[in-house]
């Protein structure tokens, strides 16, 4: 029998709505799982069991009173600890913010609560959502990294400690941990989910993403938090359809463009073989393609933009309190000072040209298929792994999904799909088809 905490969010929502189990029942089994596994996985930055249970009981009283239920009613959700929560600390994984309580919810957290979700706790992030590894371990093998910077969110969902979670991505911080931990992950179009109340690292890259155990879960939570923010120039202002409704639209079987991408030389031989088998298995539905220059320089463009904007947002605090910043982050900030203004402008201008080429490619295919990481989660805890297969797509602002359908050396490896900006629903529909095709 499947335990409550092992259900997908879509399954758990139906169970709670029917009255077969309560939100408190679900929260208790999640907390029991944390108690049994926290010494190993270490996914939580803040978790108050009594607060979590009290909020679950409040959700049950709301249902018992006959009130209307939101799509996430009673479901526990983990929140990456760079996203503000009114009733919990938001420490950004950094001594700079130790003990910080802002007393307010980020826009995405407020929408989660409005949808009926129970905020379970704050999940571990790397320092300032950057490069330094966190205390979190990969639940499949604690000697391996869970990735970063959304380490705790991905590991907690993978280990059945929470049903859904929020992460963020500036380079590869949603998709790579999704791949390493063997769960479903969505980095949506830039600005689909409002960033108000989320620590800013890069205003042209930072994207709030989601974790779940099925493609339906991704649509369910993304629908609940997606919102336009008129105060954010990068908030997505295009058509916003229901992702869940888009999943159920009738459509022919999709076609895929396989891109090695400029990151291909850094992929492990085993990862290359694994994704090549997927390509071969899809037959005529998947065609090897390429994109013209300047796509060949996309990795450098992303690195330039991230470095310059990271220095803008983190530099002043790091200079004011150097004793509260790790040496690796200091080194990254120091290196960022060498970015030339002309290179930054060139990188920003190249984005449109590359996106036009990608859009032309996706006029002929339903999604790009590619690796989500150079391989499975590396052994050792001194690194979060290489985001090289992710940063290029973050730079372009396009939606990406990782599906947990491959394995390598006994560890998970995802399959990454990429779509056009604003076509997140189509991408999820395509992802569900492939998920089922690969055995999901």
Rounded to 5 degrees, φ, ψ at 337 are -70, -15
Task: Please tell me which residue in 10, 80, 187, 189 is annotated as part of the active site.
Answer: 80
Q: In the 3-class helix/strand/coil scheme, how is 102-123 assigned residue by residue?
A: CCCCCHHHHHHHHCCCEEEEEE
149 is catalytic: yes
Pairing of strands 207-212, 256-258: unpaired
Task: Please tell me which residue in 10, 22, 134, 149 is annotated as part of the active site.
Answer: 149
Residue 138 burial class via C-beta count within 10 angstroms: exposed 0-12, middle 13-18, buried 19 and up: buried
Cβ-Cβ contacts under 8 Å for 20 (sequence gap 6 or more) = none
Rounded to an integer, what distance in angstroms lies between the CA atom of residue 405 and that of residue 19?
A: 33
Q: Is the dihedral of CA 429, 413, 332, 196 positive or negative?
A: positive
Task: Please tell me which residue in 173, 179, 202, 402 is annotated as part of the active site.
Answer: 173
Rounded to an integer, what distance in angstroms lies between the CA atom of residue 88 and that of residue 219?
A: 26
Rounded to an integer, what distance in angstroms lies between the CA atom of residue 283 and that of residue 433?
A: 15
80 is catalytic: yes
3-state secondary structure of 213: coil
> Annotated catalytic sites, by residue?
80, 149, 173
């Amino acid at each position: 029998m499947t335990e409550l905490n092992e259900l997908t969010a879509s399954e758990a929502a139906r169970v709670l709505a029917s009255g077969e189990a309560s939100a408190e029942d679900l929260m208790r089994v999640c907390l029991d799982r944390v108690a049994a596994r926290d010494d190993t996985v270490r996914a939580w930055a803040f978790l108050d069991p009594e607060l979590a249970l009290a909020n679950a009981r409040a959700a049950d009283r709301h249902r018992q009173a006959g009130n209307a239920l939101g799509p996430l009613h009673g479901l526990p959700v983990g929140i990456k600890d760079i996203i503000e929560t009114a009733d919990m600390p938001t420490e950004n994984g950094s001594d700079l913010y130790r003990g910080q309580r802002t007393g307010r919810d980020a826009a995405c957290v407020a929408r989660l609560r409005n949808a009926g979700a129970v905020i379970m706790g704050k999940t571990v992030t790397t320092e300032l959502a950057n490069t330094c590894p966190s205390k979190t371990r990969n639940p499949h093998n604690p000697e391996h990294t869970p990735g970063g910077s959304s380490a705790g969110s991905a590991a907690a969902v993978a280990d059945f400690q929470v049903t859904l979670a929020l992460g963020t991505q500036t380079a590869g911080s949603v998709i790579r941990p999704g791949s390493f931990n063997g769960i479903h992950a969505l980095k949506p179009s830039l600005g689909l989910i409002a960033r108000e109340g989320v620590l800013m690292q890069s205003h042209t890259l930072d994207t709030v993403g989601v974790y779940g155990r099925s493609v339906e879960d991704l649509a369910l939570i993304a629908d609940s938090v997606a919102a336009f923010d008129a105060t954010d120039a990068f908030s997505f202002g295009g058509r916003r359809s229901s992702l869940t409704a888009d999943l159920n639209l009738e459509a022919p079987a999709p076609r895929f463009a396989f891109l090695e991408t400029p990151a291909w030389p850094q992929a492990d031989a085993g990862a290359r073989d694994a994704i090549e088998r997927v390509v071969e298995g899809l037959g005529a539905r998947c065609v090897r393609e390429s994109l013209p220059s300047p796509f060949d320089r996309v990795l450098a463009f992303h690195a330039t933009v991230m470095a310059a904007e990271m220095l803008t947002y983190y530099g002043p605090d790091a200079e004011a309190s150097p004793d509260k910043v790790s040496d690796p982050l200091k080194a990254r900030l120091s290196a960022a000072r060498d970015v030339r203004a002309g290179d930054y402008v060139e990188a920003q201008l190249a984005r449109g040209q590359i996106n036009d080429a990608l859009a032309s490619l996706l006029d002929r295919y339903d999604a790009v298929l590619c690796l989500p990481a150079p391989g499975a989660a590396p052994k050792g805890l001194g690194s979060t792994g290489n985001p090289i297969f992710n940063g290029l797509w973050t730079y372009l602002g396009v939606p990406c999904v990782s599906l947990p359908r491959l394995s390598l050396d006994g560890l998970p490896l995802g399959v990454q799909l990429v779509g056009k900006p604003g076509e997140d629903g189509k991408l999820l529909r395509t992802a569900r088809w492939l998920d089922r095709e690969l055995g999901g």
